[in-house]
Amino acid sequence: MWKAEIHVTLKDAVLDPQGKAVRSVLGSLGYSAVEKVRIGKYLEMVLNVDSRAEAERQLDEICHRVLANPVIEQYDYQLVEVPR
Amino acid sequence: MWKAEIHVTLKDAVLDPQGKAVRSVLGSLGYSAVEKVRIGKYLEMVLNVDSRAEAERQLDEICHRVLANPVIEQYDYQLVEVPR
Amino acid sequence: MKFAVVVFPGSNCDQDCIHILRNVLHQEVTAVWHQDASLDDAQCVILPGGFSYGDYLRTGALACFSPIMAAVQDFADQGGLVLGICNGFQILLEAGLLPGAMLRNRSLRFVCKPQLLRVENNKTPFTHLYGEGRLIQVPIAHGEGNYFLDPEGLEQLRKNKQIVFRYADATGNASSEANPNGSVDNIAGIINAAGNVLGMMPHPERSSEAVLGGADGLLLFQAAIAYLAERG
Amino acid sequence: MLKPEEIKQTQAWKAMGLKDEEYQRICEILGRLPNYTELGMYAVLWSEHCSYKHSRPLFKYFPTKGPRILVGPGENAGAVDIGDGLAIVMKVESHNHPSAVEPYQGAATGVGGILRDIFTMGARPIANLNSLRFGNPQDEHVRRLVRGVVAGIGDYGNCTGVPTVAGEVGFADCYSGNCLVNAMSVGLAPHELITQAVADGVGNPVMVVGSTTGRDGIHGATFASAELSEENEEKRPSVQVGDPFTEKLLIEACLELIQSGVVVGIQDMGAAGLTSSSAEMAGKAGCGIEMDLTLVPQRETGMNSYEIMLSESQERMLVVPKAGTEEQVKAIFAKWGLHAVVVGRVTGDGMLRIFHHGQLAAEVPAKSLSTDGAPAYVPPAEKPAYLDELWQYDFQQLPDLELEEIQEAFWQLLTSPNIVSRRWVWEQYDHHVQLGTLVGPGSDAAVLRLPGTKRGIALTIDCNSRYCYQNPRVGAALAVAEAARNIYAGGGEPVAITDGLNLGNPEKPDIYWQLRETVLGIAEACEALGTPITSGNVSLYNETEGQAIYPTPIIGMLGVLEDAQKHATIAFKNAGDLILLVGELGEELSGSEYLEVRRQLIAGPGPKLDLAAEKRHGEFCRTAIAQGLVNSCHDISDGGLAVALAECAMAGRIGAQVRLHSSKRRDGLLFGESQARYVLSLSEEDYEAVRDLAVEHGVPISLLGRVGGAEFAVELGENRVIEADLQKMLELWNTGLERLLGEK
Ligand SMILES: Nc1ncnc2c1ncn2[C@@H]1O[C@H](COP(=O)(O)OP(=O)(O)O)[C@@H](O)[C@H]1O
Ligand SMILES: [Mg+2]
């Protein structure tokens, strides 16, 4: 069994309205040190497969097809083996 | 300058309809190895402060007050120093 | 009576509430900008529906830091009547004026439709004109109305009769089929323990004129007016 | 960026989508070689999307004038006088390509763009509509598109507080690779606030307001430019992310600004952003603009002049206020948390002159960039070969329905993708906000009341693209006729349209022929029905692998009601009411949903068009509604008479008993789609008055049956051919689309 921790984020050139709004509210709350906020998705997924290679194969497909749209988003993930 | 990578996730006791939906879509696409999906938020934030201690102080406050709702969510973060 | 409708950046039902109060019920209403510090001498404060701060991060999460919210908190602490509708309800939750939190609708879709509610508690300033258990039709329009509270908190709410409205079907049954968003215990609206702060997902201002398909919601505003008149 | 000489050597204009002769023309206009930024500006503004170069010469056929038309095509949106000093501003716009690659954001930003077209005119947006086309709903890819597009349209409209009150959704295989997403928006303004997009008054400041500028959406034509390294390309997403929150603030700020009286001109930065807004505003006024790009608020570092001029970052506007009011403008925007920055000024020499970091980055005559300055083409036209074959079909050879098949055919049609209820879609749209919606989605037209007047408006958006495929000219006219019918059925008087022409590649003779026929068909119908064209949009090149979509001219129509309360819905109301057919019983099958769903056949020239009958029958219905004589009114469209009757029954949650006496073909009688027809219900005591009114209007009517009961039943002569439990019908009807899309 493998556990994947996946990050899906907007590409740098893409506007992040949420991040923008959060930063501006933090500014008005006095957190003027906060210079940049970007908000993305974090997914945890457990895959019942035997090898790291197979987990990677499936994850790449899943991220590309379902979780992220490469037109505006990018993704990366980390894999750890977990006991069954 | 410090860069924070923040994860905000739903507490275990809280049902995650989005994670459930993603899992079911993956299932219908044939990814039957996927056993569990939880979806949270991933935030990147740059803080223009001098010390790690100060960055931590502000981040704890920000996470607690703004970024996570303790009724349903939990958070953690990692800090790395970045060049100005 | 004098009402204040708070306008947050992104509110979009503020004018609708003002219209009903001013043109249908002939009350005095002021729109209060979120950056104001004072509610003037309003006797009832309404946090209207909409998408304050775009509902970014979490619904209501950013609006609850607006300067006006300190005044709303004080006003509520002193027993003033506060009504949060839809996004207003979400803001009250985030501000801690009401317990619990909102999750996305079970369907993950925004839903806009007529909705039947069962009046669970008709002893509040907002509901005393309804009969207990009465079914009323009040439309909903939200993407995150899936109310969540832990079991202990829920027990408290039940015990204190803080659950004011439940989603119900035409036979008055609060069934899971009648639940449009997955809300725990079919909760559509709750009141605080002191009984002066009501939050509800359905929009009573949208069912306050017969030409718009029903006027069940009007009674809620009328109840608040009557309550205030009596209290003097 | 390539040097002018290098551009010439490498023929870089090709990759930007410019033809050789267009490059030549640019060189002539400038009297020198264009630099990279200038070339990019021409490439985008002379693209089909911006300049309508293949469709513009056809616009002369459109009727655009009328006593109610305040602003015709050519502005951000059209404006129509509806009485009491009020104007309705409206326009439709396509976002087909962005929606195909990123359905949620593509559709959302489509709504954002059309909203900006409305409020830049000084009008508050009061309603959104949308027209959608997809491939087979059972295909997983199509389902994702549907989910994303609907959520994107919904979220953007919902968040900005504009109700989405009507629309249409169609499915056909030709849209598999080319979904269509057309968004329409409608605004309300007092006449005196109607504002235009002109940069007039030499010396007046030019201001950028709203969001910051980033590298997003630097567009299609220029996207594949040789100059862009792969890394660069990564940085330049062709699809933008919408920010409806900022848009909502922008609406409020712009309307406040316009009300304050300081605005000379204002324009949304849509396609080709800063380039098109500045060139068009200056071009229209016969003025020039001088700008310093260094002053434009930017979200990213290191952007060059090309990128800043062509960025399509959303939620931005260009404003020309009166000189001396700059601080007032800034204060209004600051209140809404938005910036407003002076980036240049209006000049008298007609040149668009752009500086960046102290250097002259571009200098071109503004007019040469604008629509009037762009090249225009009249390509060869040729009638497509497929039509002759279609038209030759002999319906005699088609077997009629057996009596015992009818019930099954009825259920099949009721639950077919193009007929089944769109509830799943419109429940995701807030259709009540602003408290104006008297009739929302689920009837024929949406009906809105308007603050400060007794009057109301009716809105609809329509097109049956199968008819257009079968006969582009007649089909386009029928789209206008159907829109009018929906307006009439709601109780409105049709007064104006906005049109969205969606077709294939106009450089192919058969497609250009379709385009020309489409324009002629719309023109003819608008002339006959008295509904001039106020605004519109053209989306061409909708093809995948050489296969074009059906010609899909979408018609958004506005109707006016003298008294908003006197409207009608499709819902049967009272047990015992009489059911009346307006028009004749028909047997026309060509173009029908029945033929395609039941017989897998598209054949014949489509339904017949009779514009005079459309007008007569419609005016009759409208008058009967205004006089309070009828309790419901529904036009007969997809699925024919049987489906129309069933829809009235389901909408009213009450049954109906209908008996037809006719020797016509059973299939045509029940499911044929002959035009200019309606189904009315009325109480028995009003029957004589309605009959007299029909005689007066020269309209044939006939009694079909009565409302009532828990069952929907149709008899043909002595045979009960449809017998359906209303509850069961409702269940299948309301959840049908969900099931087709695999959501349930
Ligand atoms: N995409 C949509 N958005 C909003 N409303 C829609 C949409 N699609 C259909 N509707 C609504 O559903 C009803 C039925 O649509 P349709 O079958 O296209 O009607 P008609 O045949 O009368 O044009 C109409 O009220 C229409 O406005
Ligand atoms: Mg219709």
Q: Is the dihedral of CA D647, D651, D657, D658 positive or negative?
A: negative
- D368: its two tokens: 């040469």
Size of interface A-D (CB pairs under 8 A): 48
| Spans of chain D, pLDDT less than 50 | 220-235
Chain C 171-210, CB below 8 Å of chain D: which residues?
A: 203, 205-206, 209
pLDDT at D236: 54
Task: Report the CATH fold assignment for A2-81.
Answer: Mth169; Chain: A , (3.30.1280)
- A10: its two tokens: 């907007």
Measured distance CA(C205)–CA(C203) in Å, rounded: 5
Residue in D467, D410, D464, D409 with CA at minimum distance from that of residue D591: D467
Q: Around Cβ B28, how many Cβ atoms within 10 Å? A: 11
Marked catalytic residue, from C13, C34, C86, C120: C86
Cα distances (angstroms) measured from residue D535 to each of D114, D118, D291, D319: 12, 11, 30, 22
For helices A17-28 and D244-259, the axis angle rounded to 10 degrees is 70
| Spans of chain A, pLDDT less than 50 | none
Q: What amino acid is encoded at D522 in this protein?
A: I
Q: A62 and B38: CB-CB below 8 Å?
A: no
Task: Tell whether ligand 1 has an atom less than 6 A from the beta carbon of residue D444.
Answer: yes
Query: What's the pTM?
Result: 0.95
Task: Tell whether ligand 1 has an atom less than 6 A from the beta carbon of residue D130.
Answer: yes
- In DSSP terms, which residues pair with D354 in a beta bridge? D291, D362
Minimal CA separation from A64 to chain D, in Å: 13
Measured distance CA(B11)–CA(B69) in Å, rounded: 10
- D96: its two tokens: 């087909």
C106 touches chain B (CB under 8 A): yes
Residue in D309, D328, D313 with CA at minimum distance from that of residue D210: D313
- Phi, psi torsion values for D741, nearest 5 degrees: -90, 0
Instruction: Provide the strand spans (E) within chain C.
Output: 2-7, 28-33, 44-47, 81-85, 101-103, 111-113, 116-119, 135-137, 140-142, 146-148, 163-167, 187-191, 197-200
Chain A partners of C54 at a C-beta cutoff of 8 Å?
17-18, 21
Q: What amino acid is encoded at D192 in this protein?
A: E
Chain C partners of B14 at a C-beta cutoff of 8 Å?
103, 148
Measured distance CA(D642)–CA(C90) in Å, rounded: 46
pLDDT at D374: 87
Minimum-distance ligand to the CA of D460?
Answer: 1
Residue of D422, D431, D444, D734 to mutate, ligand 1, most atoms within 8 A of C-beta: D422
pLDDT at D228: 35
Task: Tell whether ligand 1 has an atom less than 6 A from the beta carbon of residue D593.
Answer: no
D741 touches chain B (CB under 8 A): no
Q: B37 and A43: CB-CB below 8 Å?
A: yes
Measured distance CA(D655)–CA(D675) in Å, rounded: 25
* Spatial contact of D741 and D139, defined as CB atoms under 8 Å apart: no
* Spatial contact of D481 and D65, defined as CB atoms under 8 Å apart: no
B30: alpha, beta or left? (left if phi > 0; alpha if psi -120 to 50): left
Q: What amino acid is encoded at D705 in this protein?
A: G
pLDDT tens digits, residue range C119-160? 999 999 999 999 999 999 999 999 999 999 999 999 999 999
Residue in D473, D479, D475 with CA at minimum distance from that of residue D521: D473
Residue of D153, D168, D181 to mutate, ligand 1, most atoms within 8 A of C-beta: D168
Minimal CA separation from C84 to chain A, in Å: 22
- In DSSP terms, which residues pair with D183 in a beta bridge? D93, D130
- D384: its two tokens: 């497509």
pLDDT tens digits, residue range D69-116? 999 988 889 999 999 999 999 999 999 999 999 999 999 999 999 999
* Sequence-ordered list of residues with C-beta below 8 angstroms from that of C49, at least 6 positions apart, any chain: C11, C12, C13, C16, C85, C86, C87, C88, C141, C142, C203, D433
Minimal CA separation from B77 to chain D, in Å: 26
Measured distance CA(D401)–CA(D135) in Å, rounded: 28
Chain C partners of D428 at a C-beta cutoff of 8 Å?
109-112
Measured distance CA(D71)–CA(D535) in Å, rounded: 9
Measured distance CA(C17)–CA(D450) in Å, rounded: 16
Q: What amino acid is encoded at A33 in this protein?
A: A
Q: A15 and D211: CB-CB below 8 Å?
A: yes
- Residue A30: its H or E element: none
Minimal CA separation from A72 to chain D, in Å: 6
Q: A13 and D300: CB-CB below 8 Å?
A: yes
Measured distance CA(D277)–CA(D198) in Å, rounded: 9
Chain C partners of B71 at a C-beta cutoff of 8 Å?
93, 99-101, 148-150
Q: What does the angle CA D208 – CA D210 – CA D211 come to, to the nearest 5 degrees?
A: 105
Give, using CA atoms, the residue closest to atom 6 of ligand 1. Answer: D167
Measured distance CA(D444)–CA(D494) in Å, rounded: 13
Instruction: Give the DSSP letter of residue C208.
Output: S
Chain B partners of D140 at a C-beta cutoff of 8 Å?
28-29
Catalytic annotation, residues of D: 49, 95
Integer-rounded Cα Rg, in Å, for chain D is 26
pLDDT at D221: 40
Q: C112 and D431: CB-CB below 8 Å?
A: yes
- C1: its two tokens: 């009576």
D140 touches chain B (CB under 8 A): yes
Give the chain B residue whose CA is nearest to the CA of D141.
B29
C53 touches chain A (CB under 8 A): yes
Intra-chain end-to-end CA distance of chain A, in Å = 6
pLDDT at D219: 59
Buried b (16+ CB within 10 A) or exposed e, D75-86: bbbbbbbbeeeb
CATH 1.10.287.3610 fits C2-231, yes or no: no
Give, using CA atoms, the residue closest to atom 11 of ligand 1. Answer: D441
pLDDT at D237: 59
- B38: its two tokens: 């939880």
Minimum-distance ligand to the CA of D458?
Answer: 1
Q: Which atom of ligand 1 is nearest to the CA of D166?
A: 27
Q: Is residue C86 among the annotated active site residues?
A: yes
Instruction: Provide the strand spans (E) within C86-143.
Output: 101-103, 111-113, 116-119, 135-137, 140-142
Residue in C61, C65, C83 with CA at minimum distance from that of residue C225: C83
Task: Tell whether ligand 1 has an atom less than 6 A from the beta carbon of residue D132.
Answer: yes
A34 touches chain C (CB under 8 A): no
Minimum-distance ligand to the CA of D437?
Answer: 1
Task: Tell whether ligand 1 has an atom less than 6 A from the beta carbon of residue D169.
Answer: yes
ipTM: 0.94
Q: What does the angle CA D441 – CA D444 – CA D447 come to, to the nearest 5 degrees?
A: 65
Q: What amino acid is encoded at D480 in this protein?
A: V
Tell me, in angstroms, the distance from the centre of ligand 1 to residue A29's CA.
46
Marked catalytic residue, from C34, C94, C142, C203: C203
C57 touches chain A (CB under 8 A): yes
* Spatial contact of D157 and C8, defined as CB atoms under 8 Å apart: no
Tell me whether residue D227 is exposed, middle or buried, using C-beta atoms within 10 angstroms of its C-beta: 0 to 12, 13 to 18, 19 or more: middle
* Spatial contact of A71 and D238, defined as CB atoms under 8 Å apart: yes
Give, using CA atoms, the residue closest to atom 21 of ligand 1. Answer: D637
Q: Strand, coil or helix: what is C67?
A: coil
- D207: its two tokens: 């201001």
pLDDT tens digits, residue range B33-72? 999 999 999 999 999 999 999 999 999 999 999 999 999 9
Tell me, in angstroms, the distance from the centre of ligand 2 to residue D641's CA.
12
Tell me whether residue C14 is exposed, middle or buried, using C-beta atoms within 10 angstroms of its C-beta: 0 to 12, 13 to 18, 19 or more: buried
